[in-house]
Amino acid sequence: MITLAPLAKGDPTPVAHIRVAPAQEPFCGTIAGHFAADEPLVDFHRILRDGQAVGFFKLDRGYAERLDYALPGDLGVRGVMVDLAEQGRGTGTAAMAALAEYVPPRYPQARALILTVNMINPAAIASYRKAGFVDTGKLCHSGSIGPQHIMRMMLG
């Protein structure tokens, strides 16, 4: 069973073992990189399968303040990582679908979730769509690997 849980920013131990393929790191980063970043408006979360950490993601409370394509009340989803050994099992899709129930009690001000996904990452695009994210039809051109689809999931 896939569940989600908050993660303290000061202790990477519960997710330190999570790795993605080297080719995926430019899209999602690394655990060490996420913990090293100084992002006071970003909260960390774990993806669990049967109580064991198999993934990681961040929720960015400052997304709408920094990015012109985000609206007031949008909560940014960033740095989504599913461990390489866990990939291909539907874990990422299940975790992203679970956000619809997970986020509202923790972030009552959030009206929608928003993320960007690189155009050259069709597996991630398909996963987010299956999870309930909708492509806005707009592109973000500030990504380091090229244009990214802007996707949104309405809450409540």
pLDDT tens per residue across span 2-31:
999 999 999 999 999 999 999 889 888 999
Residue 119 has a pLDDT of: 81
Residue 68 has a pLDDT of: 87
Residue 139 has a pLDDT of: 75
Q: Considering all CA atoms of the chain, what is the largest pairwise distance in Å, rounded to the nearest integer?
A: 38
What's the domain count of the chain? 1
Determine the structural domain holding residue 141 and report its residue range: 2-154
Query: Tens-of-pLDDT digits for all 156 residues of the chain?
Result: 999 999 999 999 999 999 999 988 988 899 999 999 999 999 999 999 999 999 999 999 999 999 888 999 999 999 999 999 999 999 999 999 999 999 999 999 999 999 999 887 888 899 999 999 999 988 777 766 778 889 999 998
Residue 27 has a pLDDT of: 85
Q: What CATH number is associated with residue 132?
A: 3.40.630.30
Residue 143 has a pLDDT of: 64
In this structure, the dihedral spanned by the alpha carbons of residues 114, 36, 124 and 155, taken in order and rounded to 10 degrees, is -30
Burial status of residue 74 (CB atoms within 10 A of its CB: 0-12, 13-18, 19 or more): buried
**Which of 3, 16, 99 is CA-nearest to residue 48?**
3
